[in-house]
Amino acid sequence: MADWARAQSPAAVEEILDRENKRMADSLASKVTRLKSDSDFTSMTGLLTGSVKRFSTMARSGRDNRKLLCGMAAGLIVVFFILSYLLSRART
């Protein structure tokens, strides 16, 4: 034990060690949170990358797939406008 620790009472040493332990635990908790958010971001990036690759492959294939792709895009746009209209009506 260090000389400064021998000069102080056991309760004071325990308090100092407890404060240091809490500081280190908080630091570790913030690092874990940061790592979790990085992991979530990485998995979301992988999901989006896979979706873009599938979309590109489908767009590059034959004419029939292009018709299907345009129909799906138009359908999604219509669904978006219907949902936004319904949500605006529900708020008023």
Per-residue model confidence (pLDDT) at position 32: 82
Give the relative orientation of helices 63-91 and 10-60 as an angle to the nearest 10 degrees: 130
pLDDT value, residue 79: 94
pLDDT in the model for residue 3: 52
Q: Tell me the pLDDT of the chain (92 aa) as tens digits.
A: 455 545 578 888 889 889 999 999 988 888 888 777 766 667 777 777 877 788 777 777 766 677 787 888 899 999 999 999 998 888 87
Residues near 58 by Cβ (< 8 Å), separated by ≥ 6?
Answer: 65, 68, 69
